[in-house]
Structures are given as structure tokens and as C-alpha cells.
Structure 1
Amino acid sequence: MMTFKLFSLFFGLALANPLGAPITPKRDFAYETLTFTFHGGPASYELSFPADGSTYPTHNDLNVNLIDPGSFNALYSCNFYYNLPPSVTNTPVLTSSGNGNEIAVGPPAPIASVACQPTGQGGQCLPVYAQCEWCVLGQGCYLLNCCSGYCAATRCRPTS
């Protein structure tokens, strides 16, 4: 009889809240939010995205000659992909414009998408399982700062 009462009690509690207390993920990490301004003569457009290593399309065909990444060092920390016609065989060259972090694009070309190295907000180190290897087109690959201090197979790994 006691078993039946305990079973009824647990069954009733389960029906009252079948999923238990809601689980809220720990939100102490955020990727840096970047805002780039792409200039092409007198026209320009902005793109805001997280610096999480993903590729973000620009959805714009403006021939860009200058990229203003704000305070982010995009020349060495981002990959830019172009929307070039098949007749163009040479990829545009990116160089520092000498004005802060601005990047000159020559010859001007439409930027199809951009990807920037995973960067924690305010210089925060990267959490476990974040992408920790970053390859810049034509400049090689390097390891990023994992909070655990351990990067293997392109991801930050737990130490225990």
C-alpha cells in the first residue's frame, strides 16, 4: 500500500511539471560583434555580425574600394570573399590604407561575404568546443586563445 502511495505521489508530481525546472544555459560568453562599413566611391553599406568564424554574406554588389572595420584588425583576422565575373582571373589585393584599421581593396570589387576569427567580447578567451584554429587566406593558420589553454583538432578542449 505504501508503494502505491509513493508511486502516486511521484506520478502526480511528474504530471504537475513534466519537464522539471527549466534549464537555462550559462551565458557568460559572447562573441565580439563587428560592424564593417564597405565603401565604393560615394556609396557605402554596413554589415554587422559576430566574430565567430562563420561566413556572413553581404548581399550587396557594390564595387568596394575601402573597408572600415572599426577598431577590429580585419586585415589579419578576416577572410573576404569576392563576387567576381568569370572573366576576372586575379583576386583583388587587400592592403592597409594607412588610416587606422581601414583596408584598401584594389582593384575595387564586390565583396560577397566575410568571415572573421572567433573573438570573445572584450578580448575574452574562447570557451570549450569553440573554434580555436584560424586560417587567413594566403597567410597561414594559427591557434587562438582557449580559456582551457588547450586547442586540439581545431576546437578548444576541456582539460579534465
Structure 2
Amino acid sequence: MQFSNLLIAGLGLIAGTQAQPVEERGVVAHITFHGGPASYKLSVPTDGTPVATNNGISVDTIDADYNIRDLCKFATPGPQTLVGSTTHLTVGPPQPILSVTCWAS
């Protein structure tokens, strides 16, 4: 019984140290997705980890404080064209963004 309690406590400690909030993982891209009057924000680490958006709005523009044009990949349900500057992109045709993956420069 005591061994199992120690094992559970030890595993909990290990799991707690592995689960870092995205803001503590280093450089983070702060991205805002716009679709008509709706919008939502997402923080994405630049370590190559895909981050699901969990949002179904049809996105037509994307803004960020990071070079999203060259250093991020946006997964969509269909083919897409991204046009714009390093921090502001237009999505054509507008569609949901399923996930975002960003890398450090």
C-alpha cells in the first residue's frame, strides 16, 4: 500500500513537470484568426508541435506577432492559398484552420 502511494505520488510529480504551459516553452507565436465578424486567438509554440485550433469558423485572414508566412504551417480541410506579409495573411478560399505548426527562425 505504501509503495503504491509513493509510486502514484512520484508519477504525479513527473507528469506535472512535463506538462508546461505553452508560454513557458520558449518563443511563442500569438495568432489571431478572423472569419467575418468572428475571431479567436491561439498561442503556438515555435518548437514544431502542431496545435489544434478546435474552432470551426471559416477563416479569411490571419494576424500574428510572428513571421507566420515563412515559419508556420496551417492545416485546412481543403486546398488553400495564403497571401500577404510575414504577419498578416489572407486565406483563400476561406475555410476552417484545423491546426497550426510553427518553427523558430
TM-score, with length taken from structure 2: 0.71
Q: Give the structure with the larger helix fraction.
A: 2
2:44, 2:100 within 8 Å by CA — same for their partners in 1?
no
Corresponding position of 1:13: none
How far did 1:33 drift? Answer: 1.5
Runs of 5+ consecutive residues of structure 2 not aligned to the other structure: 1-24
Corresponding position of 2:34: 39
Mapped to 2, the partners of 1:53 and 1:31 lie a distance apart of 12
Give the match's secondary structure for 1:115: strand
How far did 1:105 drift? Answer: 0.2
Q: Which amino acid aligns with 1:95?
A: V
Does residue 92 in structure 1 map to residue 80 in structure 2?
Answer: yes
How far did 1:50 drift? Answer: 1.3
Equivalent residues, number: 82
Match of 2:74 among 80, 94, 102: 80
Q: Which amino acid aligns with 1:108?
A: P
- Where relative contact order (Cα < 8 A, 6+ residues apart) is larger, the structure is 2
Corresponding position of 2:6: none
Runs of 5+ consecutive residues of structure 1 not aligned to the other structure: 1-29, 85-90, 120-143, 145-160
Does residue 109 in structure 1 map to residue 89 in structure 2?
Answer: no
Corresponding position of 1:63: 58
Give the match's secondary structure for 1:48: strand
Mapped to 1, the partners of 2:75 and 2:55 lie a distance apart of 12
Mapped to 2, the partners of 1:102 and 1:46 lie a distance apart of 14
Identity %: 40
Post-superposition Cα deviations, 1:93-112, rounded to whole Å, max 9, x if no partner, equal 0000x5x6200001101000
Q: Which amino acid aligns with 1:110?
A: P
Mapped to 1, the partners of 2:49 and 2:27 lie a distance apart of 13
Instruction: Return structure 1 stretches of 4+ with deviation > 3 angstroms.
Output: none
TM-score, with length taken from structure 1: 0.48
Mapped to 2, the partners of 1:108 and 1:56 lie a distance apart of 20
Q: Which amino acid aligns with 1:32?
A: V
Q: Give the structure with the larger strand fraction.
A: 2
